[in-house]
Amino acid sequence: MAQIIDGKEVSQYIRGEVAKGVSQLLDSSGITPGLAAVLVGEDPASEIYVRNKRKACTEAGIYSEEHKLPAETTEEELLALVQKLNQDPNIHGILVQLPLPDHINETKVLRAVSPDKDVDGFHPFNVGLLVEGNPRFLSCTPHGIIKMLEYYDIDIKGKEAVVVGRSNIVGKPIAMLLLHRHATVTVCHSRTRDLGEVTRRADILVAAIGRANFITEDMVKEGAVVIDVGINRNEEGKLTGDVDFANVENKASYITPVPGGVGPMTISMLLWNTLESAKAGV
């Protein structure tokens, strides 16, 4: 039976470290890290996420503000707000909540965020630094996965790592982080031929697909470390990951549950990046 990787426990540890760092920064330089979240339209999931961020910021001593804009906000209006936040000395991190409404060019908006305040690590400049191996802001979910592996002393060097999913938010950056930690990395996607044949090679398997129970027991090697990034709702409306947890749990050596695995780490790493950004300006 696999050991459960407890994202809540690791998250608590990280948030404790951030809170310490925030108070040290305040003592040494009088600076309070500040995070601005921008939300356009009314997406219930985004609203919950932003609310959780606000609570986590308050607990860590980070100043936070939210900018809730109506769905009909124009691209120009949104860009003007981003520019204002770029100039605001009290704000060290800017987060534009995705998805944006269809009439707004997401790429253009994400590129307008100053790379110095890009705590999501989505700006091409920061993506470039990551690929180069000198990252400044690591995207929060992939960074959270690495922190979990470190917390449980799971060795990455020399391991076969397989990432299923190639999004800019999860798949590509986690592949890069694993590569920099000397794993042999394979990235799979919807056109991968014989997916099971590839996933069965994995010592570390990361599932970032967005399909409930997609990774089944027969796709997992005995003793693999299984990281489930997926957030899905099953037929009963229950939150579930991309991995068939009940069965894969018997085969893996470590596994992250959903909920309570990768999810809580994302916000923790956002706080981490906001603190790092504030420290960089000192």
Among all residues, which ones are annotated catalytic? 53, 97, 120
- Strands 63-69 and 34-40, by their bridges, are parallel
114 forms part of the interface with ligand NDP (CB under 6 A):
no
164 forms part of the interface with ligand NDP (CB under 6 A):
yes
166 forms part of the interface with ligand NDP (CB under 6 A):
yes
Residue number with CB closer to ligand NDP (81 or 188) = 188
195 forms part of the interface with ligand NDP (CB under 6 A):
yes
> How far apart are CB 180 and ligand NDP at their closest, in Å?
19
Residue number with CB closer to ligand NDP (25 or 269) = 269
Task: Give the footprint of ligand NDP on residues 199-228 (CB under 6 A).
Answer: 208-211
Task: Give the footprint of ligand NDP on residues 235-274 (CB under 6 A).
Answer: 262-263, 266
Judged by CB under 6 A, the number of residues near ligand NDP is 25
21 forms part of the interface with ligand NDP (CB under 6 A):
no
CA atoms within 13 A on the CB side of 185: 21
> How far apart are CB 8 and ligand NDP at their closest, in Å?
13
Residue number with CB closer to ligand NDP (101 or 259) = 259
What is the Cα–Cα distance from 261 to 5, expressed in whole angstroms? 7
> How far apart are CB 241 and ligand NDP at their closest, in Å?
8
Q: Figure out which of the listed residues 156, 170, 220, 269 binds ligand NDP, where binding follows CB under 6 A.
A: 170
Q: Which of 131, 97, 103, 137 is nearest to 117 (CA)?
A: 137
> How far apart are CB 94 and ligand NDP at their closest, in Å?
18
Residue nearest to ligand NDP (CB): 167
Stretch that binds ligand NDP, among 28-36, 124-132, 182-190, 219-227 (CB under 6 A): 182-190
141 forms part of the interface with ligand NDP (CB under 6 A):
yes
244: left (phi over 0), alpha (psi -120 to 50) or beta: beta
Instruction: Give the chain's radius of gyration (CA, Å).
Output: 19
> How far apart are CB 12 and ligand NDP at their closest, in Å?
16
> How far apart are CB 190 and ligand NDP at their closest, in Å?
3
Q: Figure out which of the listed residues 231, 247, 249, 279 binds ligand NDP, where binding follows CB under 6 A.
A: 231
Residue number with CB closer to ligand NDP (26 or 231) = 231
Please give the residue ranges that form the binding site for ligand NDP (CB under 6 A). 141, 164-167, 169-171, 188-192, 195, 208-211, 229-232, 262-263, 266
